[in-house]
Amino acid sequence: MRSVLAKLFYASLLCPIAVSFAYSQTSQYRDRESGASLSLPSGWKWLGPERWGNEESTLILRERETGQEIKLYVKTLQPPEEIMPANKMNKRLLKQAQRKVEQRIKEGYENYRNREESYELKSINGRSGLNWVADYTQNGRKMVEYFTRVRSETTNALFFAKLPGERLDDFKRHIDPIIATLQIP
């Protein structure tokens, strides 16, 4: 009788612990091929990654309740680039932001332009990063595209999301903490 009660007692202690692991506040995403990883808060899920091109993939991150989403493009650089000082990597990031404008214009985006005052160079887990915002028009409505590019000599990662301009500040409050968890090789 005592051993049955002891087992029930221990089971009652272990159940809440097991439930807390099953419903933890964050979930970890790790791509075994690219080595990219990040943490998602409760209420967020990932879809993918969809693999395409040469060492490229796109992952969708979506908040279940609102449907709000951001995509993460990751490319493994083959061959890896030579190690470079942060100031050189930062210049490369700024050039890539301008190339994104050229790409979007070719794709047919109307009035597409980067907000020059939005460029924010930063370090994300020891890697060079750049946040910026681009404005464009879609069916007469003012839209924005929000970007964060993170680079190393082996990996190019780009978060991007398109949304109505009036939702940008709220979106950034939700997404920037997720972006800050990105780790790339």
What is the chain written as a DSSP string? -HHHHHHHHHHHHHHHHHHHHHT-SEEEEE-TTT--EEEEETTEEEEEEEEETTTEEEEEEEETTT--EEEEEEEE-SSPPPP--HHHHHHHHHHHHHHHHHHHHHTT-EEEEE-GGG-EEEEETTEEEEEEEEEEEETTEEEEEEEEEEE-SSEEEEEEEEEEGGGHHHHHHHHHHHHTT-B--
Amino acid at 143: M
Residue 20 has pLDDT above 90, yes or no: no
Please, what is the Cα angle at 34 between 26 and 45, to 5 degrees?
30
In the predicted structure, residue 86 carries a pLDDT above the cut 80: yes
Q: Is the peptide bond before 79 cis (omega within 30 degrees of 0)?
A: yes
Instruction: List the domains of the chain with CATH numbers.
Output: 25-179 (3.40.1000.10)
Predicted pLDDT of residue 88: 94
Residue 53: pLDDT band by 50, 70, 90 thresholds?
Answer: confident
Percent of the chain with pLDDT over 70: 86
Q: What is the pLDDT of residues 115-150, one digit of tens each?
A: 999 999 999 999 999 999 999 999 999 999 999 999
Spatial separation of the C-alpha atoms in residues 99 and 129, rounded to whole Å? 16
> In 10 A of CB 133, how many CB atoms?
17
83 Rama class: left (phi>0) / alpha (psi -120 to 50) / beta: beta
Task: Provide CB contacts within 8 A for 143, sequence distance 6+.
Answer: 135, 136, 137, 162, 163, 164, 165
Residue 68 · residue 62 · CB < 8 Å: yes
Say what the pLDDT of residue 22 is: 38
